[in-house]
Structure 1
Amino acid sequence: MKNRLFRLALCLPPLLLASCTTIPELGGMMDRGGTRNRRIVVKLGEQKAYLYQHNELSAVSPISSGREGKGTPTGRFSVIQKDADHRSSLYGNYVRHGKVVKENIDIRKGGRPAGSKFEGVPMPYFLRFSGAYGLHAGNVPGYPASSGCVRLPQRHAKRFYDAVRLGTPVIVQR
């Protein structure tokens, strides 16, 4: 009896850990069934994005959404643009001869230093869903910190990007 309990105690931790992986962080579903019948649900209160296929949860990612005063819009949208190498047309740096002369700027505010050009912040794996808003790879500090977009860690952004196509529904909830 003692031996049986000991073996059970050895098997229990791996079984408990395995139960945590029943909903994959980003599962192998990317290879199953193309990109049809998928949707992305962003839950701002949870700071998470969920990818569903055929109403079944397939992937989960942490996010960083819009900070106070620059909120992420809520509602029902769809992917209207995919751009793996997207750059912001609003936020970035002024650069002259390859060197940054003014950083972290909003192109709508202030002047451009003489002889410089605007270089937008990289937003890899951009999935535009409304106006200037989209999901893309970026810094995810664990709280709302963006200018309105939904940032995902690089590897998650790529997988979400690869998993969807134009027209995929995007639902953003509080």
Structure 2
Amino acid sequence: MLAKVVRKLPHLVVIVLFGLIVVYEPKTTSVAGPNPKDPAHEDLTRIEYPSHATIAWKAHFIRPEETLESLFGKDWIYVARFNRIDRRHVYPGMTIKVPVDMAACRSYCPLPAEYEPAKRHEKYILIDLTEQWIAGYEYGKLKISAPAATGAAGHETPTGLFQIDARDQTHSSSLYKTEDQSDQYPMDNAMRFHVGEDDVAYWIHARDLPGKPASHGCVGLYDEEMQNRVYGAPEKPVLLDSQRFYDWAVGEEEYEDDPGSAELLEDAPMVEVRGSLPVYRK
């Protein structure tokens, strides 16, 4: 494979280049809570992921004082991944799916262990909208995977074959701010994979995962360090998928030293986005 290339840009040019790109993200970083349009509170059993048909599960209504940790101990991570949800978004009154066989849940991954289109690529990223899941392959073999939150209905993540062309470890939204209006919405560990004809940019980056498609087009991954910095919770970050994917795809082992600011890349991984949004039963 050709040597990886990083094209460093003068600081002013980077500002101009990235400043012209519209990034869709939630307008505020709000406190987790029930969906006001859902009088029964959030019910994740309504979301139909095809792979959930292969693992028996039961519904669990979250009661006051219950958390994923108190309910499932060390297995809380696997239950969170199974539901595509982060700890901040688990609250009393909502309903989640609980796998009957926790051993099967520990090895759960809805995407294939080998993927034919990725076999001729050193690194290849597959994003499945129907499963709300992302996977990284090396010459066709699965190396890394995680739940994701893609664009919600009306703001779907574009499908097709793309390529990462920029990285920005400390990226933030150019349009949207945090709830207290003190800072721009954080998009840590950002990897840009597409810019539409309307100059809308699509990134893979850190964000909240509420258990369903939720963004305005970008692809969000767990990052509890970002959540701790912005919300003060969780107190002890554990889930750091955006960092893992960033390091694997565009980290310093593959490219030159990362300055932590915007850089254009060449020869970065291909990104395939496939499928359609999962069915949400009313």
TMscore range, shorter length: 0.5 to 0.7
Structure 1 residues 122, 141: closer, same or farther in 2, change over 3 A? same
Task: Assess, with a 3 A threshold, how the Cα gap between structure 1 residues 56 and 87 changes in structure 2: closer, same or farther.
Answer: same
2:181 corresponds to 1:100: yes
Q: Report deviation, 1:91.
A: 2.1
Equivalence map 1:61-72=2 (5 Å): 61-72=146-157
Distance 2:143 2:178 in 1: 37
CA distance in structure 2 between the aligned counterparts of 1:121 and 1:60, rounded to whole angstroms:
25
Higher relative contact order (CA 8 A, sep 6+): 1
Q: How far did residue 92 of structure 1 move?
A: 2.1
Corresponding position of 1:127: 191
Q: Could you say which structure has the higher strand fraction?
A: 1
Q: Which residue type is aligned with residue 243 of structure 2? A: K
The answer to whether the aligner puts 1:54 opposite 2:139 as a matched pair is yes
Corresponding residue for 2:217? 148
Aligned-partner Cα distance in 1 for 2:193–2:134: 14
Amino acid at match of 2:181: V
| Identity within the alignment, % | 36
Out of 190, 199, 207, the residue aligned to residue 138 of structure 1 is 207
Q: From 162, 165, 172, give the equivalent of 1:87.
A: 172
Deviations 1:94-129 (A, max 9, x none): 9xxxx638xxxxxxxxxxxxxxxxx42100000100
State the match for 1:168 in structure 2.
Answer: 269
How far apart in 1 are the matches of 2:173 and 2:181? Answer: 16
Change beyond 3 A, Cα 1:100–1:22: closer
Q: Secondary structure at the match of 2:181?
A: strand
**Alignment-mate amino acid for residue 214 of structure 2:** A
Partners of 1:22 and 1:123 lie apart in 2 by 27
Q: In structure 2, how many angstroms separate the alpha carbons of the residues matched to 1:170 and 1:40?
A: 5
Aligned pairs (5 A) from 1:5-44: 17=103, 21=107, 37-44=122-129
Q: Compute the TM-score of the two structures, normalised by the length of structure 2.
A: 0.41
Q: 1:85 to 1:19 in 2, by over 3 A?
A: closer
Q: 1:159: which partner in 2?
A: 244
* SS in structure 2 at match of 1:151: strand
TM-score, normalisation: structure 1: 0.65
Superposition deviation, residue 93 in structure 1: 5.2
For structure 1, the 5+ residue unaligned runs are 1-15, 24-35, 102-118
Aligned residue type for 1:134: W
Check the 8 A contact 1:66/1:146 in 2, yes or no.
Answer: yes
Structure 2: where are the runs of 5+ without partners? 1-101, 110-120, 196-200, 224-239, 251-264, 276-282
Letter in 1 for 2:159: T
What residue is the counterpart of 1:76 in the other structure?
Answer: 161
Runs of 4+ with deviation above 6 angstroms: none
**One-letter amino acid of the structure 2 residue matched with residue 149 of structure 1:** C
Please give the secondary structure, in 1, of the residue aligned with 2:188: coil
The equivalent of 1:106 in structure 2 is: none
Which residue identity does 2:163 align to in structure 1?
S
CA contact (8 A) 1:47 1:142 kept: no
The Cα shift of 1:70 comes to 1.0
In 2, Cα distance between equivalents of 1:151 and 1:158:
12
| RMSD between superposed Cα atoms in Å | 2.5
